Structure 1
Amino acid sequence: MELTGKQKRYLRASANRMRPIFEIGKNGLSKIWLEEVVKALDTRELIKINILQNAAVTTDDVQGFIEGNSDITVVQKLGKTLVLFKQSANKDNRDLSSNVFSI
């Protein structure tokens, strides 16, 4: 999904005080890890993930893996932290996405 600059700015501002809830370590990326991220995004719509120092992947690798295997949008890469967005399939959890798509 392609977001405009204003929508990305709104999402970055919303994620400013969030703490990362997922980490990528030395085991790297897997389909199981991605499934858990999708489940979390289905509930929250916006999350942060962190890449640990001992990870063998870069932020570009993670972004390519996520965008290539799912419909998740990487909103921001900042150091070793990524902000991810995906509209929830559950209409009750769409508070954030309704604000984003009204911009």
Structure 2
Amino acid sequence: MALTGKQVRQLRSLAHHLEPVVHIGRGDVNDGVVAQAEESLEAHELIKCAVQDGSDLTCREAAEQLAERTGADVVQVIGHRFALYRETSRTDVEKIKLV
């Protein structure tokens, strides 16, 4: 699902206050990182991730790889952190209402 500019701005403002829940380190984007991101996206829809100094990937590369493997959209990349969004399929989670 391609996000509109207005939706991206809304998600960026929501992601600003989040702490990173997924950390990408020396192992880069491996199956464990993807599983952790999948679980977090299902529970929260919007997550922030951090790329550690030991990683061989740039933050943009890590964001694109993780988004591709999880079916999420990259919301923002700043410094060593990025935010991903994917609508959850769970009914017990309060969904983000996009404009």
User: With structure 1 as the length reference, what TM-score do the two structures score?
Assistant: 0.88
Instruction: Give the equivalent residue in structure 2 for 1:7.
Output: 7
Asked if 1:56 corresponds to 2:56, the answer is yes
Is residue 11 of structure 2 the alignment partner of residue 23 of structure 1?
Answer: no
Q: Which runs of 5+ in 2 are unaligned?
A: none
**AA of the residue aligned to 1:68:** E
Cα offset for 1:91? 2.0
Greater percentage in helix: 1
Matches of 2:60 and 2:17 in 1, distance apart?
Answer: 23
> CA-to-partner distance for each residue in 1:25-63, whole Å, 9 max, x for gaps?
112111221021011110011110000112111123213
* Number of equivalent positions: 99
Q: Which runs of 5+ in 1 are unaligned?
A: none
Q: State the secondary structure of the residue aligned to 2:64.
A: helix
- Matching residue of 1:37: 37
Distance (Å, rounded) in 2 between the aligned partners of 1:65 and 1:95: 24
- Compared CA separation, residues 46 and 23, structure 1 to 2 (3 A): same
